[in-house]
Amino acid sequence: MVKRLCALFAACAFLTPVVVAQRDDKSALAQRIDATRDHYASVAKEIWGFAEIGYQEQKSSALLQQELKAAGLQVRAGVADIPTAFVATFGSGKPVVAIIGEFDALPGLSQEAQTAQRHAIEENGAGHGCGHNLLGTGALAAAVAVKDWMAATRQPGTIRYYGTPAEEGGSGKVYMIRAGLFKDVDAVVSWHPGDRNEASPTSSTANVTGKFRFRGVAAHAAAAPDRGRSALDAVEAMDYMVNMMREHVPQETRIHYIITRGGSAPNVVPDFAEVYYYARQPNMRILDGIWDRIVDAAKGAALGTGTTMELEVTGAVYNVLPNEYLSGVMHANLERVGGFAYTPEEAKFAEEIRKTLTDAPDVAVGSQEKVRPIRTGAVNSSSTDLADVSWNVPTVSMTGATFAPGVPAHSWQATACAGSTIGIKGMMVAAKAMALTTVDLFTDPAHIQKATAEFDERRGPGFVYKTRLADRKPALDYRK
Ligand SMILES: [Zn+2]
């Protein structure tokens, strides 16, 4: 019987050797990744527990580096003048395919895992409300699996893992691009946690962030207010003007701010105040004009309140340049991998946590079992520094269903899911789909050729990548 099966297999292999070999390769690769689930679940959980914010991800970065070294990749740490940035490499020559890992957490989103009640582990502490513990670890699982596959099949080319810090507002990748680290890369493969399995070619908003600092004159707020010039007045005047401006910008624009310094006591006229702004728009050129108007409002506020203003631009990222061709390749692999089922306990947790959302979700529990059909032309209102990579190298990214359906990113609910078993399940879907996509890019040169042709066409002739951060140092203290 065994002999007959072997004979049968040999005959099939003889008829369509390449197709059969690739199909078997891919199934075997996906199975090998499945077998690593417990290991990567513990890595993801550890990083979730570290919950380190942008540019302060020492432990998370070190753990990922250690994993990559142990797997046989060579690690270059502290690249681009950023202590927590690194690049891990295996192989040599072309093509060069890069898998992206992020690992920073968000301030204030500390939350216990797998519970549907708001309960911070540490009051005002940071938490993985964007699931970057899963992002970095899923990318690690994919990169190591591809490395092992390359070693076993003697596949020529280079696989890299980019450890990219401070995705949340720190623009870490922009500095890594500036340092030339993406120069020889042919394609970039990435993913992001979310509430669905999808590989559509979506764009994002371009985003400029900055801190406006006003300086006035301190005085007794009751005895000698006429001697004072309030820096907080300037912040309020600026915010008022910007809030009126909202009516006169294209409606897809997003502007948000927090007052980070507003004085130290009501009876002292504040001589220093600071407001931290984000402005976003699907079109970088339109955003440039809006940002200039925001800066004008700050100047006007300073003039009117007798204070001075200085601006520190802390971050700037493009809108994502989608690549439909690469998304098609990734979508096919994601469909092959498929979604996943919840256990009864996981389904209960998902239903409970959905009840805590302000609006009833438009997606049902169970939707994580499927892969969304591919759609074109969608733009997310959020932003990412992966966008800058996408204007330098053909880039593809997908979403894995790590959060209960309907749970938005940057919420305590997302932190709870990112530390849970459903988060791990979604992460493994992404790890497999990324690894299989990367294998496709290595084995069929036509993929990179077609992706590059689309990339060139979308960028247009004569495109030169420029960033507002051109001559500044990474804002390593932007969270302070
Ligand atoms: Zn994120």
How far apart are the CA of 133 and the centre of ligand 1, in A? 10
How far apart are the CA of 384 and the centre of ligand 1, in A? 7
pLDDT tens digits for range 121-133 = 999 999 999 999 9
For the cut 90, the answer to whether the pLDDT of residue 275 exceeds it is yes
Q: What confidence score (pLDDT) does residue 14 get?
A: 42
pLDDT tens digits for range 188-203 = 999 999 999 999 999 9
How far apart are the CA of 194 and the centre of ligand 1, in A? 9
142 vs 150: CA distance, rounded Å: 12
The pLDDT confidence band at residue 5, using thresholds 50, 70 and 90, is: very low
How far apart are the CA of 8 and the centre of ligand 1, in A? 48
pLDDT tens digits for range 63-106 = 999 999 999 999 999 999 999 999 999 999 999 999 999 999 99
Which residues have C-beta under 5 Å from ligand 1, the single-atom ion? 130
384 vs 374: CA distance, rounded Å: 21
403 vs 321: CA distance, rounded Å: 25
DSSP assigned state of 220: B
Q: What confidence score (pLDDT) does residue 21 get?
A: 52
The pLDDT confidence band at residue 23, using thresholds 50, 70 and 90, is: low
Q: What confidence score (pLDDT) does residue 480 get?
A: 77
Type and span of the H or E element at 160 = strand 157-163
How far apart are the CA of 185 and the centre of ligand 1, in A? 23
For the cut 60, the answer to whether the pLDDT of residue 372 exceeds it is yes
pLDDT tens digits for range 155-191 = 999 999 999 999 998 899 999 999 999 999 999 999 9
DSSP assigned state of 87: E
pLDDT mean across residues, the chain: 94
How far apart are the CA of 222 and the centre of ligand 1, in A? 46
Q: How much of the chain exceeds pLDDT 70, in percent?
A: 95
439-465 mean pLDDT: 97
How far apart are the CA of 217 and the centre of ligand 1, in A? 40
Q: How much of the chain exceeds pLDDT 90, in percent?
A: 90
Placement of tokens 């070190």 in the chain: 62
**Contact in structure between 191 and 433 (CB atoms under 8 Å):** yes
**Contact in structure between 459 and 322 (CB atoms under 8 Å):** no
How far apart are the CA of 433 and the centre of ligand 1, in A? 19
For the cut 80, the answer to whether the pLDDT of residue 356 exceeds it is yes
For the cut 70, the answer to whether the pLDDT of residue 428 exceeds it is yes
In terms of C-beta density within 10 A (0-12 exposed, 13-18 middle, 19 or more buried), how is residue 4 classed? exposed
The pLDDT confidence band at residue 478, using thresholds 50, 70 and 90, is: confident
Instruction: Please tell me the pTM assigned to this model.
Output: 0.90
Closest by CA position to 261, among listed 238, 290, 235, 296: 235
**Contact in structure between 260 and 275 (CB atoms under 8 Å):** yes
How far apart are the CA of 132 and the centre of ligand 1, in A? 6
How far apart are the CA of 168 and the centre of ligand 1, in A? 7
For the cut 50, the answer to whether the pLDDT of residue 231 exceeds it is yes
How far apart are the CA of 382 and the centre of ligand 1, in A? 9
